Structure 1
Amino acid sequence: MAAPRSRAAGAEQPQVAGRGGGAAGRALEPPGEPGPANAAAGQKGRSAGERRRESARRGTGGPEEISRTASLATEEDASRNCEMYLPAYCHPAAMEISLDSEEDMYRDAEEIEREKILLGCKTSSSEYKPSVAPEMDIMEYCRKEWRGNTPVAKRMRKGYEAVAQKFASIRRVRGDNYCALRATLFQALSQATQLPTWLQSEDFTKLPENLLSKYDWIKQWQLKQKLGRKMGEISDEIKEYLMLLRKKWKYISEIKGPIEKQEACDKLFKNEEEEYSLYEALKFLMLNTAIELYNDDKNGRRVPVFSWLLFARDTSSNPCQLMHNHLNQIGHSGGLEQVEMFLLAYALQYTIQVYRLYKYGTDEFITLYPNDPEEDWPVVTLITEDDRHYNIPVRMCQETKL
């Protein structure tokens, strides 16, 4: 997998903004605070969805400021220790969340964990509700969620109107801190027509064994509920997840009919055990990509700009810290940050195109991860209102190339 990574890494230009250019840090900026006009409007006349989303934006923590990140990037990484900045362990068991209720989509980590504890036990696959909801007319969804007259509501409606020019429907994605992985993988599988080259490699399933032989700290990878396992057991389990990813991708990509393909995806994302196993595979691929980029940079090879930003954070100055403080937390105490969306794109060798609705009217309304992608990378499209939760636009979505 190293060869295609280095080829792709050299292509990205020193910008991480949306289509249309801009400052290097724009795509990584956290959502802005609602303006005075919003505060003056108060809660009056707004839907529950609007109030919840504005609250989510106020509580969302984005990546470090670029100015501080850039200065950190110039410092020598003198330590290989794995200092933990997020010490609280959160149980990673998958839980059942009703997609019929608005209130389950924008909750914080504490609310999610409380429900996991209350549920007590996992649901069976037969009782597990789909984590990607059925299609809904995109403007009907917008009218339901954004009924107010605040500047934010008006901006969101304008954003949805722009998206509706390209896509007819939207599918809501479960908001349990896996939503970025879930939305990206669902789109990739539902549009796939062939097995990606990197998934065909004979060395693909040997990744866990190879990495564990070099990096003993990977033993601390958080495998759902299975902590404290031996190195060999962790390697075997991650290998199973990678094999499952290859198997499902191959099976779905070979389905010719679009209806049958969607039905296969819906079935997969209704199977709790398989679905969350696939997320473990994606997270491990992200770790592998991060290690490659980190080593390339240390050896003087060219790397994309986001790699500098990724390792300039005080919580991820090396791959070990990235694993402990970020990758292990995805789906449990937090989701993907902006800079980690770049990492996911590089791990899958897919361009992730995101309609960032709160950025409507700016050149960052449509943001690409990476912003200067390889021409042969397929494209998946997502929608976000706050860079925290992601939904899926459908109907006119096809596997295309930029």
Structure 2
Amino acid sequence: YRGEEEIQKECALFPSAAVGETQSSVSAAEDLQTYSEREWKGNTTKSLLIRKGYEAIASEFNLRKVRGDNYCALRAVLFQVLSQSKQLPAWLHDSDISKWPKEMHSDQDFITEWQFPFETSKSKVQHLEQCLELLTNKWQEAVQCKSLEERERMCQQVFRGHDEEYELLEALKFLMLRTAVQLHSDMEKGSDVPEFCWLLFARDSSKCPKTFLTNHLRHVGFNGGLEQVEMCLLGYSLQETIRVVRLYKCDTEEFITYYPNDHKNASPLCLLTEDDRHYNVLVPKKPPKFDAYGRPKWNPPSDGQSSITTRL
């Protein structure tokens, strides 16, 4: 995992580097089985378990490796959003989201605590406005792509470790904060809220949006990644379902987990993790076949066991 200083050095060293695999934050797709056999050799209990998990999904998916820093969960989700979205979500289509930082700054003195992984001459409000405007533009550009090849080129332009990529990732963090503020307000009013909200604000370190930002969100990308309950918040903020294959949970009911688990849609963003810390992207080899519950019909591991969960 790369820290703040390393990210800043990279942004300074490669301000206008050509797009290529060496700078790409998300690699080209490769065969899951081949990757598993290369990375998990030996016969330790963990190696056997991880390989078994890979085997269970190898016939349905390929793998795209995501750069292993503390932004990786955000990066993997953003990649799937830009590579899969067929239309703009309603909240993005109907709103000028670039105004949201100023509105939040007027209502709550949160933005002063924001930190960016690179130097900027703009105020924090102005920079967040720029980040959100960029997110709108890139999302719109993605859905307007006429072919898979065009969309792949567009994604490769985005995911190369430059300022633009990190601005998009910071935009996702802001969306999470704004959603947290709204949900916490609903909780205080006694309104219905998603189940994960009670977990998010039950932590001593995030009793309210202010402490959530101070103790958790502002450190994402720098000193830590997203926790599971924060993955729920991310999915809810984007109005997407994030489906994660958790390889180290193979043979348990938590092998496949949805974030959030009460907000499912027919086209989830599929990720893979070996440890709940680093996330990679899953790419379907063909249109998935779903069972009666909307779950993909993946091949069970070689011993015939398979399990799926919708819990946190």
- Which of 15, 23, 36 is the matching residue for 1:124? 15
The structure that has the greater radius of gyration is 1
1:398–1:270 Cα change, 3 Å: farther
- Which of 323, 326, 347 is the matching residue for 2:216? 326
Q: TM-score, normalised by structure 2?
A: 0.86
Contact 2:111 2:125 in 1 (8 A): no
Unaligned residue ranges in structure 1 (runs of 5+): 1-106
User: Does 1:206 find its partner at 2:81?
Assistant: no
Aligned positions of 1:299-314 closer than 5 A: 299-314=189-204
Aligned positions of 1:244-283 closer than 5 A: 244-270=134-160, 272-283=162-173
Summarize deviations over 1:135-162 as a string: whole Å, max 9, x none: 2111110001111101111111110011
Cross-structure match for 1:180: 73
- Which of 275, 291, 300 is the matching residue for 2:181? 291
Aligned positions of 1:27-176 closer than 5 A: 107=1, 112-113=3-4, 115=6, 121-126=12-17, 129-167=23-61, 169-176=62-69
Aligned positions of 1:15-30 closer than 5 A: none
Cross-structure match for 2:283: 394
Q: Secondary structure at the match of 1:216?
A: coil
One-letter amino acid of the counterpart of residue 192, structure 2: R
C-alpha RMSD of matched pairs (Å): 2.3
- Which of 223, 231, 245 is the matching residue for 1:341? 231
Shift of 1:371: 1.2
Q: Greater relative contact order (Cα 8 A, min sep 6): structure 1 or 2?
A: 1
User: Does 1:215 find its partner at 2:104?
Assistant: no
Q: TM-score, normalised by structure 1?
A: 0.67
Task: Give the Cα separation in 2 of the matches to 1:383 and 1:316.
Answer: 27
One-letter amino acid of the counterpart of residue 73, structure 2: A
Shift of 1:113: 4.8
Q: Secondary structure at the match of 1:157?
A: helix
1:154–1:192 Cα change, 3 Å: same
Shift of 1:258: 1.2
Task: Give the Cα separation in 1 of the matches to 2:141 and 2:281.
Answer: 22
Shift of 1:133: 1.1
Shift of 1:269: 0.7
Cross-structure match for 2:301: none
Summarize deviations over 1:198-250 as a string: whole Å, max 9, x none: 111234222111111100232221133358x88xx322221111111010111
1:138–1:118 Cα change, 3 Å: same
Task: Give the Cα separation in 1 of the matches to 2:163 and 2:9.
Answer: 20
Q: Secondary structure at the match of 2:276?
A: coil
Query: Percent identity between the aligned chains?
Result: 46
Q: Secondary structure at the match of 2:128?
A: helix
